Amino acid sequence: MKPYKMDNIKVLVVGGAGFIGSHMLKMLHKSGIHATCLDDLSTGYREAVRYGTLVEMDLAHAAAIEKFFAENSFDVVMHFASFIQVGESVLDPAKYYQNNFINTKNLLDAMIIHNVNNFIFSSTAAIYGDPQYTPINEIHPKHPVNPYGRSKWMVEQMLEDYDRAYGLKSITLRYFNAAGADPDGELAERHIPETHLIPIILRVAAGKSPHLQIFGSDYDTPDGTCIRDYVHVEDLCSAHLLAIEKLLSEKKSRQYNLGNGQGFSVKEVVEEAGRITKRPIAVLVSARRPGDVPVLVAEASLARTELNWHPQYSSLGDMVAHAWAANKKLS
């Protein structure tokens, strides 16, 4: 028998007002798990926190975070709060090292003081840098090529040290391209500014934008556009739920890639979006975007075998259809 009951545990979701965190709060609620959301609402939305209690707090305030842990008890902390724009991280690295690294250190330090030893961390394929082979498995060399990827890799290394020194156990989930939306249409992806491919395509489909700029069609790929491994937000969240169980039962730190192992080119995504929305998607080929690599595809079999993760929405059509339906419902 398991030494704990999942519905008795208390989970803190840091960054629960953002895209993936808000979906996580809903999934935890549906699983009967009580969750508190901690968010400074700098990029998240109050109205996205539909499940669980929202506590507004900035992780930069170490003393306030420590006091929060002194007054509340948690079994597991999930950390979704980070800045995610690669281009911005090159122009303003301080913003990324402050939020993604230093603020995460504040969170971990408060956890250690108050004996909260289970941590689930949202990492990224950006830690690998330019792929030396594809698909990318977890042991692929880590040579991030921008401050965003470096800030995440620094946290991963800090987690290794904190485990060794303080016994903090963590499961790190390295997302490839998060996509889709709540299948009920209650939550959606919203970033300002929006830089991600599928939401931008859907804006064109909805008539809110004149065309999609395709950043480069001269890559060494079959149709010349970049290939990515899109993974549905619901599947990312289900991996987190399985990670809680694994962490609480085995108490071992682990790292897993989360992707479907199938790559789609920018042109293929545009075609699929045209098919799903039944709207024309005007495109304009422009210059390559600095920092883009031609192909990023995950080898994610470790998550399947060790976490027992079985993505439910691995078809690109489902991801686009859910994002389209949610956008229409919420706009």
Among 31, 213, 217, 262, binds ligand UFG (CB under 6 A): 213
Burial code (b: 16+ CB inside 10 Å, e: under 16) for 32-66 equals: ebebbbbbbeebbeeebbebbebbebbbeeeeebb
Binding map of ligand UFG across residues 141-160, x = CB under 6 A, - = no contact: -------x------------
Q: Give which of 111, 174, 106, 132 is closest to 295, Cα–Cα.
A: 132
Regarding 84 and contact with ligand UFG (CB under 6 A), the answer is yes
Q: Which SS3 state, helix, strand or coil, does residue 259 take?
A: coil
Among 81, 108, 168, 266, binds ligand UFG (CB under 6 A): 266
Strand 76-79 relative to strand 177-179: parallel, antiparallel, unpaired? unpaired
Among 125, 136, 181, 237, binds ligand UFG (CB under 6 A): 125
Binding map of ligand UFG across residues 296-325, x = CB under 6 A, - = no contact: x-----------------------------
Regarding 22 and contact with ligand UFG (CB under 6 A), the answer is no
Q: Which SS3 state, helix, strand or coil, does residue 179 take?
A: strand
| Alpha-carbon gap, residue 125 to 318, rounded angstroms | 22
Interacting residues of 303 by C-beta distance below 8 A, sequence separation 6+? 173, 239, 256, 257, 258, 309
Scanning 121-129, 202-210, 251-259, 303-311 for contacts with ligand UFG by CB under 6 A, the matching segment is 121-129
Place of tokens 């939550």: 187
Query: Catalytic pick from 96, 128, 148, 256?
Result: 148
Among 17, 120, 226, 281, binds ligand UFG (CB under 6 A): 226
Binding interface with ligand UFG (CB under 6 A): 84, 86, 124-126, 148, 177, 195-197, 200, 212-215, 226, 228, 266, 289, 292, 296
Catalytic residues, by residue number, are: 148
